[in-house]
Structure 1
């Protein structure tokens, strides 16, 4: 048992794995070969797919068959009844109302790419639908066939009697129509849904009509029952006004219509109903009481009316017969008889004798033949409608060798407004008689009156004009071109050189003859008052670069018809480049204009080319070193080329040879600065080593301080810049070479420092002397080369020298300064006494106030510097010495430095001092002070 269980367990695991695999397969592949499904639909007219209460005839094949849609599904119509046009293959929606037959052969397959066979097969059984009769079941028909007047035969598609409105089902077409009325089979025809019958004319009343009833039946399909519907139609025969006639009459035939005619006659109106009435459409006739008219009287009334004008072209008279319908469902019938009367063309002629033309003297190069024709007043035939010709010219005859004078070209190539003017070219006509025919064709003529085209309503449309029965009219126009002696052709555009034929030409030889013989005539100079000149002309001395000439050659003839030819030509002067020249140019100023260097009288129409690829587009040839846009002049030959002209083809050249001359090199301009105390300088010493010393210096600023040897003395010069020009002579064409030497003199002002006086107690030094300039030097002597750089203590009767100095080391004149030192007790020049007053007390308590017996008080006295050998002794009130000091001893701080009490702090009290200067006449000073603790 245990083993079976294990085996069962193993089998169970295998079954679970199989189920998982199978489940996965069904989820990735559609279910295939589901079988055949039958869907029956008996009342398609009531199907409402979207459930909005409005039937739409749509079903879904998935929903009807119960099949679950899978990804990749697609429906296809496969039955004998096609249904693809009504099927959405993706959604499976099927529009039943588009299927026009009741049938069980609407077959559909559901396919999927994952299935090797179809997924399902659906058979739709669609039940019959016979439709709904139109309106209330009656279908009134008014036949408009006008081929028969006595009986009206009609054909009706009976499906038209059923409703066919948007949003409603259409009846199925595979039913059967059946006539259910009482007429025998011989009185009607029924083929399928087409019904035919004849409605006889009963004479007018009551209305000609007949009722017909039919049943339409669609057979049942499957369990769906047969459907049928009854319809009734009424056919009504319309009224008929008959077949009218139209007449096109030429005005010349109007007398044949001077008679009474009856419009009801079959000649004018055929097969009309008899109960109609006449109306007159043309407002030129006021009324018509019956069908009898006299067309000649009608036309005469038109000619007498305000509507008439000459050249009207054509006029129509319309008579309309109207039969009123006897049924509200049929229209009235009308027939209109039209009489068109076309205006007869009036003859036109060339009234004068043939037009005589002398070609050379006639100012007209073209002749409009139309201008030679005379028309009857008001009947001028000239212009046609656009793109239509109703008048035209033809060439009839001309002299032997003559042509149509370009008449045909004017007809074919002109614009519509020029087509029929008959323009000919008489400028080239050979003598003789020419004849042309002018023709007016009425069958394309509409109304032409003056320059205005008038249309008689629709009557003048091209289709109506083509029926014009009137005859055409034409006339011959004759032109005589008179004989003349040939003077040659007008000739122009000739260019000659002044040297042509050694300056002599024959005027007749220049004329174009077109191969004909030119008869010798008379020449006149048109540019000089038409004076008579000979055939030979001197052209060797023309005015300007070219000169235009115009002459007229005139021949005479016994017929009195002269011939003239105009000769125009231009004579050109030979190109002149001038004479060669050689020009020397200094290299320090490469400035020249080549054209101005040429000799003679050169033309200004040439250009230059020369060394280093030099070319110009003008005649100037300018070189200017100040203009950066111009090239730099170089040595060599520059060629001036004057091209040939229209008469003289050979160019002419002249050469300007440029020679460059170098000037003496002077070097660059010199700028130097000197202190005035330098005294002098030799300007030659300032020149560059390579500058020749053969020149001279010019005192351009007129200082008067420059010697002939170039030495400049500074004594008279002030604080400014002086310019001197160094000049060297050059060979022609160079001007003298020069450079400028600019000397700047630095002349500083003397300092204003008076003699100095100090008290010896000041211990004054050199820096204590007040100076009125910022930069200065002190010297011990007037000639000292080294200034004082330390700050010495001033001594009595010393002498110093001071000078102003600048950054470049220039000095002013030196000023002497004397020193006077006052001893104690002496009075200064200002009355002040040089005295030494020591302090009257000390308090060595460390507050920096009178802590010692001061020997230096700034701004008051400086004992160590003033008396370097001084001695100071201090005694107590008992006369015992407590302090002895000199320049090397620490100031007294209330401590004893004698052997009795060395280093002891002295008590408060009065102490006495003796100060001995040990300097010259300065006497010892005694005094006392109080020591406070």
Structure 2
């Protein structure tokens, strides 16, 4: 975190990159000025200059950042060792309305990794046509610097921060670095790339750390911090630019959680372009990613798969570091890391989250590591601002149930009928492989106890509700219909033969028995005499049970008159003739 004062048009110095591990840095660069600028100096400027990089074999390059700056509005296309470079970021500042300045940045890691220790030349950097208005006031300048971050296994675990922007120091500039955890101040350092400093102006030019003035005498006297030097090489001819680094181990203490840097300049107009801090600060850095999720059809419970990382760190992340999950601003679940997570390691897990029942189909899930569920952390980290992530999740919403027309079946006895359930779906276009029928919504949702023979199904009750599930992206559709029973008209045969041969031995009026349970059957002989009365328990088997004579005897071959009264308001009595033969 940085707090500072700055002029209009400047870009705040702010954290650009952080490296946690066995890291340190060096810097090379050169000026484009032929002499220190001034009212009596020549109004000329170079278009190329060089500097040499010479790292030890144990120092492995991990990043290289090129900064260049000068008078006027900017040249943002230059060359490094004949490789074209275009500015990736640009900065600007101004002394007044007539004197404006620029700075530029490019990541040249790939070039420096490929070429290694060699001479680096900046060319095609041409401000010749721009500096004339600046020369009379001694503000004409140009220069470049490459900051090289390297890893060395012999180094302690450090936190290296690269801050950049473009801020001038007309009077006072203050920067506060927070979230430090200094375990050892040995070899603690701070470095700068600054533009337009003048060796000849040494009026109240001071650099302080935690209120203590620091210097590298005789290269950087306490009262002339910005004097055209490179602390890494000892060069004193970097006219109007500075690549300086200071040891601050006696100005920051073990246990410090912050450091305040202040720069002053009583007269000289100086612009700070980058600041590098290297501190032995052993801290974890918890981050989290949401890797995947599982959503069930119509289910408001989702499974979220996540990974907690401790990548950009200098210490382990302790076990039981809390994790909180939110939907909008509502806490919907908590978890914690299971094990200690080593530097550059990670741990994956999953959690089931119950969403509100009335939530919409599109849900934003936010996961925050080192959050106890109240937006508060319990672990001190190197970066407290990278603990969260989010994922947009689409729930599989099932459409409302579609009601279909009932299927009506003829009562086959005891209010049971046979149905072809596919008949209910005749109006729909579907693939039979995507269809299943169920007796309950619970079975449908869990896809259990499907009806095995839907083309020949006997109802369990009257009425009975049936549910059909048809696969339909992104989930499925539900259709509902009832099976109902009606008493259909009976089929009355024209004759029968009660000869005990087990074939057609009784007057088998179909769709009557156990259906029209209150029916009455009357049989008359050809003389109009009532000879038999039957009901649901007494079908006619060709014998008589009425009249004065022959009760229980079989009737002779012949034609007999019947009256079938179903005792159903929907049907009138049926009358006709039936032939009895043996």
TM-score interval (norm. to shorter): 0.3 to 0.5
With structure 1 as the length reference, what TM-score do the two structures score? 0.22
Q: Say which structure, 1 or 2, has more relative contact order (CA 8 Å, 6+ apart).
A: 2
Query: Which one has a bigger Cα radius of gyration?
Result: 1
Higher helix residue share? 1
